[in-house]
């Protein structure tokens, strides 16, 4: 394809001019990381380059954008020379705890811990299974036994290939094992085997380009650092959000000959840039601010719901609740495809809970004879996805199958045909939206005491990154969640927030009336959404933190929505009686929800307590 004109800014020019053998480009959100790598490749037509990214869709997208002297691969694509050996025997696939339980006649909870131990080993740079790979909830005294089991399973996983001479068993023994075992070699397993062979990519390529380096796990990072050819990495440490894959910033700047920082974003205006700077400086100590090249782009802190907009949540549980609330009013699109969201699993959890006798197909859920067993498993293993599904199944009860069917019926496959796009923060990488609503199920970074939370674990730092990623998907209009607003209020009190960002705090005190920041650029439809490398990471099983997060920050409002949906309650008195609150408190909450567009005023025309508050609000707005 014809190359688009690329005019580098000062920071990008420094990166393009670098002759460092190992170059690390630290680029903030919306600064054009991938475009920079494409331009670098275009300027080196005489060299054979390897570009590596995560996810097949990303690789295919890159193949259409890079010049012909570049081979585009995923890490697993590079390792397929090993993975294909397991494909030939039909034994390449996901490894579930239920398979381990069946193969070795062990309890499901222990099988889950065993699977996690194997996963931790597979994504690590270690060549043997260690006690450090065993989940932390296992006592130190029991870890050696888990390691012994994991070594046994790892050995059996390697037997899932075709028999060969010198493999230590007869051809008949191997054939019998392959015929009877339920085990499968997962993608990370064959990647581990390939990495342990210490592959030399330098004899095939003159230079290696690695995009989104922050999402690289240690096993592949070690492969990259072993290469003798020049390597050029681009990414953003603060967009590291795939820690569940072992990706916790596996690269150290000290490992590179030169580090270049690019901080000027082309996606959004100064207000969002200041909010992003506020997040990173306050919670990560980042000294380099996020800057905007679009100084004339005003940000509106209100979404026009008569035009297409996107909703980003932390968890699939909250996205489900949002989709239910939109039924009958909007055409929906789930980014990545609705089948990549665990709604079918939710239906199966419901069937197990209600004991309907329906056939269960999910490998994990079908392994349990009762809902009580599933709950016990979730408790024993701290399986956050199952915790979340159980919570939602209890919340919506017998309506689950019908609601899932209605959501599917309301969903369209193409984003340009939708009124509302829904996605998790994990899926939002590489995307941008003219209009964006942030849900309130992200981690609270301001404590109940009004002070910033100390992010002293990798998991907590990833919660900051998720909030930063979600915020920086917006282009011109955004409705902030309570998590960001709480940070703005704290920083405003401390005098550590820019004047443009202060509009976010002030504007959200208003409801769904006039524009909150005047003369922002007009929003386009969803055809304006740009998909870039990183947008289609296959995180099919993501639910995120425990479903209790579903109600963080706006518990009463969420309970009101559910009471309306499930019981048809349309008066403050009826809602108060059902929810256990005062009529005044519920009426205030409903009026606020109507004012900000979360509920329709038509629903409460017969409720004097709500209508009186709405009239008062109109009078205050007019004043």
Is 408 marked within a binding site? Answer: no
Q: Strands 70-74 and 49-53: what pairing?
A: parallel
Residue 459 tokens, joined: 């998991």
Candidates 242, 246, 262; CA nearest to 542 is: 242
Is 28 marked within a binding site? Answer: yes
Q: Do residues 72 and 38 lie in contact, with contact meaning Cβ atoms separated by under 8 Å?
A: no
Is 315 marked within a binding site? Answer: no
Candidates 312, 482, 467, 315; CA nearest to 391 is: 315
Q: Do residues 488 and 272 lie in contact, with contact meaning Cβ atoms separated by under 8 Å?
A: no
How far from 131 is each of 97, 121, 145, 244, 345, CA to CA, in Å?
Answer: 19, 10, 9, 18, 32
Compute the distance between CA of residue 75 and CA of residue 162 in angstroms, rounded to an integer: 23
Q: Do residues 614 and 512 lie in contact, with contact meaning Cβ atoms separated by under 8 Å?
A: no
Q: What is the DSSP letter of 162?
A: P
Is 41 marked within a binding site? Answer: no
Compute the distance between CA of residue 365 and CA of residue 539 in angstroms, rounded to an integer: 19
Compute the distance between CA of residue 623 and CA of residue 613 in angstroms, rounded to an integer: 15
Compute the distance between CA of residue 617 and CA of residue 613 in angstroms, rounded to an integer: 6
**Residues contacting 242, CB < 8 A, separation 6+:** 215, 426, 537, 539
Is 34 marked within a binding site? Answer: yes
How many helical (H) and strand (E) elements, i.e. helices and strands, does the chain have? 24, 14
Compute the distance between CA of residue 58 and CA of residue 214 in angstroms, rounded to an integer: 16
Q: Which helix (H) or strand (E) holds 302?
A: none
Q: What is the DSSP letter of 521?
A: P
How far from 562 is each of 392, 509, 555, 577, CA to CA, in Å?
Answer: 11, 24, 11, 14
Is 89 marked within a binding site? Answer: no
The annotation places the binding site for ATP at 27-34
The annotation places the binding site at 27-34
């Amino acid at each position: 394809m014809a190359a688009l004109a690329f005019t580098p800014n000062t920071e990008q020019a420094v990166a393009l001019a670098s002759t460092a053998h190992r170059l690390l480009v630290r680029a903030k959100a919306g600064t054009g990381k991938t475009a920079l790598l494409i331009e670098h490749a275009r300027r080196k037509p005489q060299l054979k380059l390897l570009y590596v990214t995560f996810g097949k869709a990303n690789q295919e997208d890159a193949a259409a954008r890079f010049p012909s002297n570049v081979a585009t691969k995923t890490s697993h694509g590079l390792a397929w020379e090993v993975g294909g050996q397991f494909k030939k025997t039909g034994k390449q696939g996901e490894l579930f705890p239920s398979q381990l339980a069946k193969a070795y006649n062990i309890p499901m909870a222990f099988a889950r811990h065993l699977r996690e131990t194997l996963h931790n080993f597979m994504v690590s740079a270690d060549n043997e299974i260690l006690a450090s790979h065993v989940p932390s909830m296992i006592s130190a005294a029991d870890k050696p036994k888990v390691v012994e089991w994991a070594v046994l399973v790892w050995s059996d996983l390697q037997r899932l290939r075709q028999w060969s001479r010198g493999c230590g068993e007869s051809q008949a023994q191997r054939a019998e094992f392959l015929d009877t075992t339920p085990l499968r070699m997962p993608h990370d397993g064959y990647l581990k085997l390939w990495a342990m062979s210490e592959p030399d990519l330098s004899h095939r390529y003159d230079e290696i380009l690695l995009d989104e380096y922050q999402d690289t796990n240690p096993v592949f990072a070690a492969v990259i650092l072993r290469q003798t050819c020049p390597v050029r990495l681009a990414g953003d440490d603060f967009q590291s959000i795939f820690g569940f894959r072992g990706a916790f910033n596996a690269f150290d700047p000290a490992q590179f000959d030169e580090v270049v920082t690019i901080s000027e974003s082309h996606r959004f205006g100064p207000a969002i840039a200041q909010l992003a700077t506020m997040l990173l400086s306050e919670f990560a100590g980042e000294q380099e601010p996020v800057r905007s090249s679009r100084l004339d782009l005003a940000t509106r802190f209100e979404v026009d719901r008569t035009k297409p907009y996107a909703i980003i949540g932390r968890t699939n549980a909250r996205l489900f609740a949002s989709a239910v609330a939109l039924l009958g009013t909007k055409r929906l699109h789930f980014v990545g495809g609705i089948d990549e969201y665990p709604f079918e699993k939710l239906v199966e959890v419901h069937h197990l809970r209600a004991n309907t006798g329906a056939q269960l197909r999910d490998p994990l859920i079908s392994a349990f004879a009762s809902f009580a067993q599933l709950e016990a498993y979730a408790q024993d293993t701290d399986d956050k996805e199952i915790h979340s599904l159980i919570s939602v199944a209890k919340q919506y009860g017998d309506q689950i199958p019908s609601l899932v069917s209605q959501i599917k019926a309301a969903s369209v496959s193409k984003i340009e045909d939708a009124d509302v796009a829904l996605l998790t923060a994990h899926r939002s990488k590489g995307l941008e939206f003219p209009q964006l609503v942030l849900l309130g199920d992200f981690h609270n970074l301001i404590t109940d005491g009004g002070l910033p939370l100390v992010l002293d674990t990798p998991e907590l730092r990833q919660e900051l990154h998720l909030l930063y990623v979600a915020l920086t998907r917006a282009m011109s209009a955004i409705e902030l969640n309570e998590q960001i607003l709480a940070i703005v209020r704290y920083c405003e009190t401390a005098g550590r927030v820019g004047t443009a960002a202060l509009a976010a705090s002030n504007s959200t005190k208003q409801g769904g009336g006039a524009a909150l920041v005047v003369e922002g650029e007009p929003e386009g439809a969803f055809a304006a959404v740009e998909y870039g490398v990183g947008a289609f990471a296959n995180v099919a099983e993501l639910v995120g933190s425990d479903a209790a997060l579903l109600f963080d920050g706006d518990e009463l409002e969420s309970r009101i929505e559910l009471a309306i949906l499930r019981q048809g309650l349309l008066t403050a008195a009826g809602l108060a009686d059902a929810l256990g609150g005062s009529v005044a408190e519920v009426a205030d909450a409903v009026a606020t929800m109507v004012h900000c567009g979360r509920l329709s005023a038509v629903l409460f025309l017969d409720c004097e307590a709500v209508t009186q508050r709405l009239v008062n609000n109109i009078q205050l707005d007019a004043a």
